[in-house]
Homo-oligomer: A and B are copies of this chain.
Amino acid sequence: MSLPHAILTALLEKPSSGLELTRRFDKSIGYFWSATHQQIYRELGKLEAAGLIRALPPVQPTRGQKKEYEVLPAGREELTAWVARTEEPKQIRDPLLLRMRAAGVVGPQGLEAELRRHLDLHRAQLEKYTGIEERHFPAVPDEVEDRLRHLVLRGGIQLETFWVAWLMEALAAVEQMPEQMPEQGAAG
């Protein structure tokens, strides 16, 4: 149940239309909670029906039918309650770790290229995050809001750092392995 709260957070930061939200989910918020425009429109409908947000009357009625939403008091209350709510930590569920385990059973043929590709992508992501950090948080921020945003960004940086390190380790291990698996049944 995180998507509605992601949207409430985004709308509190700045009232927006569906497409604007989608774009913001492709940027800052989407770095740790991604969503497609279909999900967002569906959820906006639900939130409006639940009385947590409302559509603003269009400022320029003639120019297109863009709908801007803003958060109602009930929505802010819901978000405040959610921040303090007890929820179990999300367990790890990563396909790449699973593939590594599968490679232990059927052999690592072809996995190396995929590991390299992932390593490049994570390195790029890490650079992007550190770039944002340098630009937006050159010093420890004073404002509570900025401190928490910085904390979230540092979380992203540390996660990407983990992946880069782990993938390098994985590559080193896979590189010095035989291509073919010593098969028990078929080839042995």
Contacts and interface: CB of A to CB of B under 8 A. Distances in A.
Interface of A: 2, 5-6, 8-9, 12-13, 29-34, 73, 76, 79-80, 82-111, 113-114, 117-118, 121-122, 144-149, 151-152, 154-156, 158-159, 162-163, 165-166, 169-170, 173, 177-178, 181-182, 186
A41 to B, nearest CB: 19
Interface of A is mostly: helix
Contact of A178 (B29, B84, B144, B146): B144
Given A106-B79, A162-B162, A32 B93 contact: yes
10 contacts: A13-B105, A32-B93, A83-B107, A83-B110, A87-B95, A89-B121, A90-B96, A97-B152, A97-B156, A158-B165
Contacts of A89: 96, 118, 121-122, 163
A123 to B, nearest CB: 11
A12 to B, nearest CB: 5
A104 B140 CA distance: 15
Number of copies: 2
Closest 7 CB pairs of A and B: A84-B110, A104-B148, A32-B97, A104-B145, A80-B106, A9-B102, A2-B95
Contacts of A85: 114
Contacts of A9: 98, 101-102, 105
B111 A5 contact: no
Given A83-B111, A158-B166, A149 B102 contact: no
A107 to B, nearest CB: 7
